[in-house]
A and B are shown apart, each in its own frame.
Chain A
Amino acid sequence: AQRVTQPEKLLSVFKGAPVELKCNYSYSGSPELFWYVQYSRQRLQLLLRHISRESIKGFTADLNKGETSFHLKKPFAQEEDSAMYYCALKSGANSKLTFGKGITLSVRP
């Protein structure tokens, strides 16, 4: 069975500091990983997906199959990055998502 682990619940940093949000997964097939973000009072929205290899809002994430990780990184955090971040794994023919428990990122001025 697939599993997504986000080991930390909260990360608090100062503006301009680097950010790394950890995500590990367990899946027997070929994984497709995502990061979703939820800003205060807004819906869950896609931040990035590993297959597109994009940088969105300065965030990047690299799939490391050897370490089964998909950590989200940003070199210089901004206050507007404060939100809840969820790592998710797409699996099966029906493309359902398995989510981690999420991490709250708080960026202080």
Chain B
Amino acid sequence: DTGVSQDPRHKITKRGQNVTFRCDPISEHNRLYWYRQTLGQGPEFLTYFQNEAQLEKSRLLSDRFSAERPKGSFSTLEIQRTEQGDSAMYLCASSSGLLSAFFGQGTRLTVV
């Protein structure tokens, strides 16, 4: 599968622990997005990278959240001191130029 890849697919963690998710975009795509989706809602924008630069962050992204995209390739999303409200599906998407965004299969986080 040469699409957007996310790892892990599922993560269960105890409240207060830190978690890190990885996204590998389609190789020639310079734009990378993170979204969060909770039950009954559509995906909500979290942050955007163009190459290695993080150009936009949603106010949904509290200071416990940090994202990186070193070298403009894969990206990581870290959540520190997880809370039950962080339980959600975390989606990564990539695009380039005028192309529409392609989505990964997501990482489902459950905080217990």
Q: Which of under 10, 10 to 19, 20 to 34, or 35 or more describes the interface residues of A?
A: 20 to 34
Complexed CA–CA distance, A94 and B55 (Å): 8
Is the Cβ of A44 less than 8 Å from the Cβ of B103?
yes
Is the Cβ of B42 less than 8 Å from the Cβ of A86?
yes
Interface flag for B45 (CB, 8 Å) = yes
| Residues of B within 8 A of A (CB-CB), count | 25
From A13-21, A56-64, A72-80, A95-103, give the one contacting chain B: A95-103
Is the Cβ of A95 less than 8 Å from the Cβ of B103?
no
Interface flag for A25 (CB, 8 Å) = no
A70 → B minimal CB distance (Å): 14
The prevalent SS among residues of B at the interface is strand
Known contacts A43-B3, A94-B48; A34 and B42 CB within 8 A of each other: no
Complexed CA–CA distance, A36 and B42 (Å): 11
Is the Cβ of A102 less than 8 Å from the Cβ of B100?
no
Is the Cβ of A96 less than 8 Å from the Cβ of B45?
yes
Is the Cβ of B105 less than 8 Å from the Cβ of A98?
no
Is the Cβ of B48 less than 8 Å from the Cβ of A96?
yes
Q: Which of B4, B45, B55, B104 contacts A97 (CB 8 A)?
A: B45
Residues of B within 8 A of A49 (CB): 100
Known contacts A43-B106, A94-B55; A99 and B43 CB within 8 A of each other: yes
Residues of A within 8 A of B56 (CB): 92, 94, 96
**What 0/1 pattern do residues 8 to 34 of A give for CB contact below 8 A with B?**
010000000000000000000000001
Complexed CA–CA distance, A42 and B35 (Å): 17
Interface flag for B85 (CB, 8 Å) = no
Interface flag for B87 (CB, 8 Å) = no
In order of increasing CB-CB distance, the 3 nearest A-B pairs are A99-B42, A44-B103, A43-B105
10 contacting pairs across A/B (C-beta < 8 A): A6-B42, A9-B40, A36-B103, A92-B56, A94-B31, A94-B55, A95-B31, A97-B35, A98-B45, A101-B42
